[in-house]
Amino acid sequence: MNKREIGTAFEQEACRFLRDKGMEIICTNYTCKAGEIDIIARDGQYLVFCEVKFRSSGKAGGAFYAISKAKMDRITKAARWFMNERHISQNTFCRFDAVLIDGNEISHVANAW
Protein backbone atom coordinates (compact mmCIF):
# COMPACT_ATOMS: atom_id res chain seq x y z
CA MET A 1 0.00 0.00 0.00
CA ASN A 2 1.18 3.53 -0.74
CA LYS A 3 1.04 6.39 1.79
CA ARG A 4 -2.34 7.65 0.54
CA GLU A 5 -3.92 4.18 0.81
CA ILE A 6 -2.50 3.75 4.30
CA GLY A 7 -3.80 7.19 5.30
CA THR A 8 -7.25 6.39 3.91
CA ALA A 9 -7.39 3.11 5.85
CA PHE A 10 -6.55 4.86 9.13
CA GLU A 11 -9.02 7.68 8.42
CA GLN A 12 -11.75 5.05 7.92
CA GLU A 13 -10.74 3.48 11.23
CA ALA A 14 -10.94 6.92 12.86
CA CYS A 15 -14.45 7.44 11.42
CA ARG A 16 -15.60 4.12 12.90
CA PHE A 17 -14.06 5.09 16.24
CA LEU A 18 -15.85 8.47 16.27
CA ARG A 19 -19.17 6.94 15.20
CA ASP A 20 -18.87 4.45 18.07
CA LYS A 21 -18.51 7.49 20.36
CA GLY A 22 -21.83 8.83 19.00
CA MET A 23 -20.50 11.38 16.52
CA GLU A 24 -22.09 11.90 13.10
CA ILE A 25 -19.59 12.04 10.23
CA ILE A 26 -20.47 14.88 7.86
CA CYS A 27 -17.54 14.85 5.48
CA THR A 28 -14.14 13.21 5.00
CA ASN A 29 -11.09 14.54 3.19
CA TYR A 30 -12.51 18.03 2.71
CA THR A 31 -10.13 20.00 0.50
CA CYS A 32 -10.09 23.69 -0.41
CA LYS A 33 -7.53 26.38 -1.25
CA ALA A 34 -6.76 26.81 2.45
CA GLY A 35 -5.94 23.15 3.11
CA GLU A 36 -7.44 19.77 3.95
CA ILE A 37 -9.49 18.45 6.85
CA ASP A 38 -9.48 14.70 7.43
CA ILE A 39 -12.89 14.43 9.13
CA ILE A 40 -15.70 16.89 9.76
CA ALA A 41 -18.27 15.63 12.22
CA ARG A 42 -21.10 16.69 14.47
CA ASP A 43 -20.89 15.96 18.21
CA GLY A 44 -24.04 17.23 19.84
CA GLN A 45 -24.06 20.99 19.31
CA TYR A 46 -20.43 21.05 18.12
CA LEU A 47 -19.14 21.05 14.57
CA VAL A 48 -15.87 19.13 14.88
CA PHE A 49 -12.88 19.48 12.57
CA CYS A 50 -10.67 16.48 13.13
CA GLU A 51 -7.09 15.64 12.18
CA VAL A 52 -6.10 11.97 12.04
CA LYS A 53 -2.48 11.05 12.73
CA PHE A 54 -0.90 7.61 12.63
CA ARG A 55 2.50 6.58 13.87
CA SER A 56 3.64 2.97 13.95
CA SER A 57 5.10 3.54 17.42
CA GLY A 58 5.41 6.26 20.02
CA LYS A 59 9.21 6.34 19.82
CA ALA A 60 9.39 9.79 18.20
CA GLY A 61 6.89 11.33 20.61
CA GLY A 62 3.79 9.73 19.18
CA ALA A 63 1.10 10.83 16.77
CA PHE A 64 0.08 13.98 18.63
CA TYR A 65 3.53 15.51 18.22
CA ALA A 66 3.25 15.03 14.45
CA ILE A 67 0.58 17.76 14.29
CA SER A 68 2.57 20.94 13.76
CA LYS A 69 1.46 24.50 14.51
CA ALA A 70 1.48 25.16 10.73
CA LYS A 71 -0.83 22.15 10.22
CA MET A 72 -3.19 23.42 12.92
CA ASP A 73 -3.28 26.84 11.24
CA ARG A 74 -4.07 25.30 7.83
CA ILE A 75 -6.89 23.21 9.30
CA THR A 76 -8.30 26.27 11.08
CA LYS A 77 -8.29 28.25 7.81
CA ALA A 78 -9.87 25.33 5.94
CA ALA A 79 -12.57 25.14 8.65
CA ARG A 80 -13.44 28.81 8.06
CA TRP A 81 -13.55 28.11 4.32
CA PHE A 82 -15.89 25.11 4.90
CA MET A 83 -18.23 27.16 7.08
CA ASN A 84 -18.38 30.02 4.57
CA GLU A 85 -18.90 27.64 1.66
CA ARG A 86 -21.76 25.84 3.45
CA HIS A 87 -23.26 29.07 4.88
CA ILE A 88 -22.82 27.85 8.45
CA SER A 89 -23.30 30.56 11.04
CA GLN A 90 -20.21 31.95 12.74
CA ASN A 91 -22.14 31.48 15.98
CA THR A 92 -21.94 27.69 15.57
CA PHE A 93 -19.97 25.97 18.33
CA CYS A 94 -16.84 24.45 16.80
CA ARG A 95 -13.85 22.58 18.05
CA PHE A 96 -10.68 21.04 16.68
CA ASP A 97 -10.02 17.43 17.64
CA ALA A 98 -7.39 14.83 16.88
CA VAL A 99 -7.71 11.09 16.48
CA LEU A 100 -4.34 9.60 17.30
CA ILE A 101 -3.28 6.14 16.25
CA ASP A 102 -0.02 4.99 17.82
CA GLY A 103 0.62 1.43 16.71
CA ASN A 104 -2.50 -0.46 17.82
CA GLU A 105 -3.66 2.23 20.25
CA ILE A 106 -6.34 4.71 19.15
CA SER A 107 -7.34 7.77 21.15
CA HIS A 108 -9.44 10.87 20.69
CA VAL A 109 -8.38 14.29 21.95
CA ALA A 110 -11.26 16.77 22.01
CA ASN A 111 -10.23 20.43 21.82
CA ALA A 112 -6.73 19.45 20.71
CA TRP A 113 -6.09 23.11 19.80
Domains of the chain: 3-109 (3.40.1350.10)
Tell me, what's the pLDDT at 57? 63
- CB 109, CB 64: distance < 8 Å: yes
| pLDDT at residue 59, rounded to an integer | 65
Residue ranges, the chain, pLDDT below 70: 57-61
pLDDT value for 75: 97
Give CA angle at 47 (46, 52), nearest 5°. Answer: 115
Give the predicted TM-score (pTM) of the model. Answer: 0.90
What pLDDT is stored for residue 60 in this prediction?
A: 63
d(CA 2, CA 49): 25
